[in-house]
Structure 1
Amino acid sequence: MTQIAFIGFGEAGGILARDLAARCRVVIWDKKLNGEAREAMLEKARAAGVHAASTLAQAVADATLIFSTVTASSALEVAQETAPLLQAQQTFLDLNSVAPDTKRRAAQSFTHARYIDVAVMAPVPPARLATPLLIGGRDGDALTAQLNALGLNARYGAQEIGRVSAIKMCRSVMIKGLEALTTECLSAARSYNVENEVLASLHASFPSLGWNGDLPDYLISRVAEHGARRAAEVREVVSMLNDAGLEGWMSRGTVETQQQLVDKMAQQQLRYADLAPFRWQTLVDKLS
């Protein structure tokens, strides 16, 4: 039976691990298992039908495929820590949203096991295993077929490490930027009591996007729930832009806007779960 390991058992890792556990043995490791959240993580693992390892080394020891689904800020460190633990027959799949050069630096640590660059091209919920993945790295085409046989939605993108991540991170300039712009735009509109007129005007200009429906709630909810993680990802976007000779002023602003919202929520001890069902107006009012 194929054994899979997940390093990082947050939103993405938790969903993918749970779904893959129906097809193979899944072992997880998360640094929270060493902290105050240990019991909550163990309960989450039990509910998902996966096995929680005692150490990183134990988690990866017998795994054929090792998925890294951690935060952007710790992705390189995790890759470098894991590489010496792996053997030639094992494959490390780096699903983290980081700059192409960060992926290339991570790959340099893998002298025995195979390193694969994976770009997650959409939010893991709600598509779960059907979330589109772009695969990059040597023998990536063969691995793509293996992943699809497990129920994943993978497509081979490039042999060169970093190329598929460049696609993902360039996309993030727009997606995370749109979230930040919407947060800033509608926070201001709410303060002037003109949000209805602003949303009507946006809908008239871009009628296919859904400004008159759930889109504003969705975009701002992504910041409220995952702003710190998204800010870390966009810092990697800025790094990518700098590597390309660009200043990345817009993305720098996206970092600040994403981080600022969750910092304000933390200052008021306001949790995302407290806002269910989420309405962007409620959040803005509580923070004003």
Structure 2
Amino acid sequence: MVMTLTSNQWHVGIVGYGEVGKILAEDLCRDGIKVSAYDIKLDGDQARPLQEHAAGIGVTLALSSADLATRADLIVSAVTARETVSAAQACAGAMKKSAWFLDFNSASPAAKQRAAKLVNWGGGHYVEGAVMTSVPPYRIKVPLLLGGPAAAELAPLINELGFNAKVASDKLGVSSAVKMCRSIMIKGMEAMVIEAFTTARAYGVEDQVLASLKATFPGIDWEKQGAYFFQRVIEHGRRRAEEVREVAETVREAGLTPWSAQGTAERQAWIADLADQGLFGQKGSEEFARSADWRTEADRILKQIKSAE
């Protein structure tokens, strides 16, 4: 029997207390919904910021994914792409038999299907979710495609909690395929803009390139879009690289060689490596990729390349 509760009765557990997990927790807590969370960083030296954030909004931190699963009516998995299946496995055996598992992660259809088997075998009700755009501007209202046999039942329940979900299919993998194919384009554009703009800057032809792009695509503000792409990849390149590796796997599952996706993953990971080395400054500082001018970051990249020669 599937659990049905009114919104003020839900206990939501969030696995993965990163950017997305924190945003969902903030919005749910603001509406008086009980929230627990767990993140692997709670077991290391990065625990304090998570603990302080949770205490500030009223989130209870669990000792483990299994500990969280024992108390939650709805588990939202918001981990990195490569942890999709392991997060489901960690929760599956401890879930309430009537609880829901909403997989928010950007993983291939096959990965979602593996996660579903684990959760459903444990007695939970798995629903895949595909987040269709960047979460921060929309927060909990980010467009969300649901998939799987239980998706139609879960959609109105989580929409009552504040989500913006609609059902894409009763078959597992369809929602994720939509997300993955979209990411070929979006994450690929990020990588291409960084590569093209930085190369143009190296040759001193960025103004001509931007003018040409504007003439061809007049509806896009390429200065603004370029700055946004640089910012997002510098801040989230590691997570994006992992997602695009899942995208590449999705392409392989379709029988194609993922040349574009593989290159995108390499570029995203390369920027993440530079960010980890402190090239772009520390998050929260004035240096950190918050300028409206992408040229500052391109110049740092070019300087790093020359110093490595």
Q: What is the TM-score with the length of structure 2 in the denominator?
A: 0.90
Distance 1:266 1:142 in 2: 42
Q: Residue 62 of structure 2 corresponds to which residue in structure 1? A: 53
Equivalent in 9, 13, 19 of residue 27 of structure 2: 19
| Cα deviation digits, residues 186-229 of structure 1 (max 9, x gap) | 00011111111111110110011221x41110112111111111
Q: Where does structure 1 lack aligned partners over 5 or more consecutive residues?
A: none
- The alignment status of 1:152 with 2:163, answered yes or no, reads yes
Question: How many residue pairs get matched?
Answer: 287
Alignment of 1:1-288 (within 5 A): 1-23=9-31, 24-110=33-119, 111=121, 112-211=123-222, 213-271=223-281, 273=283, 274-278=287-291, 279-288=293-302
Q: Could you tell me which amino acid in structure 2 is paired with residue 170 of structure 1?
A: C
Q: Could you tell me which amino acid in structure 1 is paired with residue 99 of structure 2?
A: Q
Q: Could you tell me which amino acid in structure 1 is paired with residue 28 of structure 2?
A: L
| Cα deviation digits, residues 61-110 of structure 1 (max 9, x gap) | 12110000000011111111211111321011111000000101111112
Secondary structure of the structure 2 residue equivalent to 1:61: helix
Q: Could you tell me which amino acid in structure 2 is paired with residue 9 of structure 1?
A: Y
Checking the alignment, whether the CA contact within 8 Å between 1:224 and 1:272 is kept in structure 2 is no
Shift of 1:272: 5.4
Q: Where does structure 2 lack aligned partners over 5 or more consecutive residues?
A: 1-8, 303-309
Distance 2:198 2:56 in 1: 38
Distance 2:75 2:89 in 1: 13
Shift of 1:263: 1.1
Shift of 1:269: 4.8
| Cα deviation digits, residues 256-275 of structure 1 (max 9, x gap) | 11111121233345445232
Distance 1:283 1:48 in 2: 34
Checking the alignment, whether the CA contact within 8 Å between 1:225 and 1:272 is kept in structure 2 is no
| Cα deviation digits, residues 105-154 of structure 1 (max 9, x gap) | 11111211011100001111111011000011122112100111111100
Q: Could you tell me which amino acid in structure 1 is paired with residue 260 of structure 2?
A: M
Checking the alignment, whether the CA contact within 8 Å between 2:69 and 2:94 is kept in structure 1 is yes
Checking the alignment, whether the CA contact within 8 Å between 2:113 and 2:173 is kept in structure 1 is yes
Distance 1:46 1:13 in 2: 14
Checking the alignment, whether the CA contact within 8 Å between 1:265 and 1:287 is kept in structure 2 is no
Distance 1:167 1:39 in 2: 37
The 1:281–1:275 alpha-carbon spacing in structure 2 relative to 1, beyond 3 Å, is same
Checking the alignment, whether the CA contact within 8 Å between 2:78 and 2:103 is kept in structure 1 is yes
Q: Could you tell me which amino acid in structure 2 is paired with residue 283 of structure 1?
A: E
Distance 1:276 1:226 in 2: 11
The 1:72–1:125 alpha-carbon spacing in structure 2 relative to 1, beyond 3 Å, is same
The 1:268–1:19 alpha-carbon spacing in structure 2 relative to 1, beyond 3 Å, is closer
Shift of 1:276: 4.7
Structure 1 residue ranges (4+ consecutive) displaced by more than 6 angstroms after TM superposition: none
Checking the alignment, whether the CA contact within 8 Å between 1:275 and 1:283 is kept in structure 2 is no
